[in-house]
Structure 1
Amino acid sequence: MAQSEQAWQDEARDIMRGIGGAAIIGVPLVYTREVWEIATTFGRQEIFLLVFWGSLVCFGFSLFSGFRKDSGVAAAAKDAVESIAIGVLLAIALLFLLGVVDMQTSLVEAVSRVAVETVPLAMGASVANTQFGSDDNSEDDSGESNDSALREAGFAAAGALIFAASIAPTEEVALIAERLNPLGIAGIALFSLLLTCGMIFVADFTGGDKRRGAKGVLQSPLGETVLAYAIALIVAFVCVAYFHALSPLPNPYPMIALTVVLALPASVGGAVGRLIV
């Protein structure tokens, strides 16, 4: 029973690590209008070739750095297939959440956009283990919980700023925010929270085992997830205020919408801040 539970935990970690790697590499491209538009110019042959070559690249990456620790050609092929699957599902989720694809979008256009976004997301999943995997030999700093929490908050803010500042000046953030109703904004916020929690505590990018064993409200999964997302929201708010010259008064909704939209990539950056700073 214990072995079966451990196997499920390992499977969840591996899948979440792939999703996290996909988000780190691919989310900025999901916020790129040129990618949305060029996808609509591709025919069936171009889409097929794009996915085919993308699958080969994922296979090559998986031979050396798949999101699982298994090795060999068969394991790499399995990783590549799962990387593409992660890319497809994450692309669909992100494009629908951001309003780039909706029920009025034609099937051909929707498939094209999903396919184009799938490739970079799948590549991110393929390199997750080597590029973003946790260091099992990292030192235990549980005795310095206060200093550690403050340091991690600073790294989270820096990581969030790196991701948010590169996207905030673009018109895509405003275009996405204009399309969304309050329910869509709430959906993005919930997705950001779940992704943050998964990357910090499930994917084990940054010592999730030690985090789960740490004491204190802010070291619990709920506490640290809320703190990380709050930091992402603050960073996104500052970027929106600076680059879009908006004020929360008299109508706060545009500011809220822009902040939540930008907080999605900011939360990805914040979740892995210690790795990219």
Structure 2
Amino acid sequence: MAKVRSTQHPSHHQSALKRECQDLVRGACGGFLFGIPLLYTMEVWWIGSSVTPPIMLASLFITSIVVFGLNYTAGFRQSSSVHWGTLIMDTVEAQAIGIVCSFLLLLLLREVTLETQLHEIFGKVIFESVPFSIGVSLANQFLTNKDSDENESRSTSQSQGDRSSRAHVSTLWQETFNDILATMMGALIVAFSIAPTDEVKTLAANTSGPWLILTIMASLLISYGIVFEANFSDQQKRRKQRGLFQTPLSETVMSYLVSLGVACAMLWFFQLLQWGDPPTLWVSYTIVLGLPATIGGAAGRLAL
């Protein structure tokens, strides 16, 4: 008997895989936007270090209820579902994303190391993952472009009209200035409450050269993902926007440098850094605070 060939086109599988990857990136970026302030809270580290297993389980259970409710109304996928089985799987997946993201950032900031006891790792990660998981479930409400598919289908036919209309509204220098200003405002909003705290000193003291480099790379990667991969706001418009830094790579690097400048200025303003301090102190403090500042700067550019 002749074998029946599959009628599904390979491009269908590729499209589904791409959509799934984009959903995961969107969820992770929502977690970063929502969970980064609590990550720089020393009291949460202390609670996580001493919490008992029953409290950990209770925290996971309560978080799962909240995440389930948020997935019912919002979720992190473009195509929402009200089927119980799908909602339960999305809830488990959202909490898994939150746990992985919080663990990786705690590892990056050296609050979790190979010397850390296992129960302490679980406690810190579980408590820090609560806002991350909630952020994952709220991803579709974080400046999401509800008509992204429609906009993408019309982008080709309207590209000439859009470019011509934008040319009358703003100039290249104006759009560049707007990007810089939005980055500064977003960085201030997210990182201003973190800058005067002792957490910056503590994290910088535990972070050596290689980990600072990894922090820089993570900051750039998260910023790029939020603005250009998570499909928040009008992602296609961001890619076509005019300006001196008009490519995704150059815009990401530029916004990171601006965020570092804002972080450094805040540290000086709150007297955590003074002119007589060694350059290594300036660098380490600025890079550590630059992570939340960069995430805030990315959110600011989305709101532009």
Instruction: Determine which of 71, 77, 80 is the counterpart of 2:81.
Output: 71
1:29 paired residue among 38, 48, 62: 38
Q: Does structure 1 residue 44 correspond to structure 2 residue 53?
A: yes
Distance 1:4 1:133 in 2: 25
1:62 aligns to 2:52 (yes or no) = no
Is the contact made by 1:160 and 1:235 (CA closer than 8 Å) also made in structure 2? yes
Tell me how large the CA RMSD over aligned residues is. Answer: 2.1
- 1:6 Cα deviation from its structure 2 partner: 2.9
Q: Which amino acid in the other structure matches residue 109 of structure 1? A: E
SS at match of 1:168: coil
1:209: Cα distance to partner? Answer: 1.7
Q: How much does 1:218 deviate?
A: 1.3
Report whether the alignment pairs 1:124 with 2:135. yes
Equivalent in the alignment of 2:256? 229
Normalised by the size of structure 1, how large is the TM-score? Answer: 0.93
Task: Verify the 8 A CA contact 1:196 1:267 in the aligned structure 2.
Answer: yes
1:178 aligned residue: 205
Q: Which runs of 5+ in 2 are unaligned?
A: 1-9, 152-157
Q: Which of the two has higher C-alpha Rg?
A: 2
What is the distance in 1 between the residues matched to 2:54 and 2:127?
13
Amino acid in the other structure paired with 2:268: A
Q: Are the equivalent residues in 2 in contact too, given 1:97–1:188 (CA < 8 A)?
A: yes
Contact 1:99 1:179 in 2 (8 A): yes
Question: Deviations for 1:221-276, whole angstroms, at most 9, x for unmatched residues?
Answer: 21111011111111101011111342465620011000000010001111111456
Tell me the distance in 2 between the aligned counterparts of 1:216 and 1:153. 11
Deviation at 1:37, TM superposition (A): 0.4
Q: Deviations over 1:86-112 (max 9, x none)?
A: 111111111011111111110111111
Pick which of 191-200 and 146-155 moved more: 146-155
Paired residues of 1:59 and 1:77 also in contact (CA < 8 A): yes
CA contact (8 A) 1:21 1:132 kept: no
Q: Could you list the runs of 4 or more consecutive aligned residues of structure 1 that deviate by over 6 angstroms after TM superposition?
A: none
Return the letter of the residue paired with 2:295. V
Task: Tell me which moved more, 215-224 or 49-58.
Answer: 215-224
Q: Which moved more, 1:138-147 or 1:259-268?
A: 138-147
Tell me the matched-pair count: 277
Give the Cα separation in 2 of the matches to 1:124 and 1:145.
35
Q: Identity percentage over the alignment?
A: 35
How far, CA to CA, are the matches of 2:262 and 2:54 in structure 1?
42
Q: Within 2, Cα distance between the matches of 1:268 and 1:22?
A: 11
The unaligned stretches of length 5 or more in structure 1 are: none
Greater alpha carbon shift after TM alignment, 214-223 vs 159-168: 214-223
Instruction: Tell me the secondary structure at the aligned position of residue 108 of structure 1.
Output: helix
